[in-house]
Amino acid sequence: MSTEPAYAGWIGFSKNRFEALTDGIFGIAMTLLVVGLSVPAVATITGTVEIEETLSSLFPDFVHYCIAFLILHGMWVSHHALSQKMEYIDRRFLDLNSLLLLSVAIIPFSTSFAGDFPESPVAAMVLEVNLLAVGGFLLAQWTYVASNTDLLRPGIHQNGLSPGMRLAAVIPVLSFLGIAAALLGSAWSTGIYLLVPAAIFVIKRLSQIKENEDCQVLV
């Protein structure tokens, strides 16, 4: 008797391999972000004033490092949450995951570029477009799984993906706003990502209120 899953889209290897590849690329990208925090040669620093100027010049790099690291962390958590709801992966989902990882791997470059040219709206837009791609592909994965419920584990329903889909939409929406601000000439348009915690809080709060209302209707 065949032990293969009945799902027709099964592609022949376990979910663990795709999760390991995803975790590895996210981890490498998050580690490489620190490379953008390059310290000038010691020979050019001769006193306290130079040290203070060096720290001041590194501030944009540090801000962009924190933004990129925390966003990647949040996206990894979101990706992990989606994976835990899935029983199988198919070819199209794997293709979407490859595009996601392609975008994630470029994040260290776009983050360093934005930090090196803090007064340039174009440099800010490079990072924002990159984050838009990462967030967009992650949202596409959530949407794809919601439309292909055969991929889900037993007991997981389509409406159970709605909160995750709303949270996955935060970065694409903020990226669009950041790109619009950069096109208007704002060099610090990447500051829009500082709104991520507030956006997540509001979405979770609204989801909780809706869940409570649904429970009251059932009662």
pLDDT of residue 70: 95
Report the 3 state secondary structure along the chain.
CCCCCCCCCCCCCCHHHHHHHHHHHHHHHHHHHHHHCCCCCHHHCCCHHHHHHHHHHHHHHHHHHHHHHHHHHHHHHHHHHHHHCECCCCHHHHHHHHHHHHHHHHHHHHHHHHHHCCCCHHHHHHHHHHHHHHHHHHHHHHHHHHHCHHHECCCCCHHHHHHHHHHHCHHHHHHHHHHHHHHCCCCCHHHHHHHHHHHHHHHHHHHHHHHHHHHHHHC
Q: pTM value?
A: 0.86
Give the pLDDT of residue 217.
58
Domain range annotation of the chain: 15-218
pLDDT at 1: 47
The whole-chain average pLDDT of the chain stands at 86
Residue ranges of the chain whose pLDDT lies below 70: 1-14, 40-47, 211-219
Name the percent of the chain lying above pLDDT 90. 56
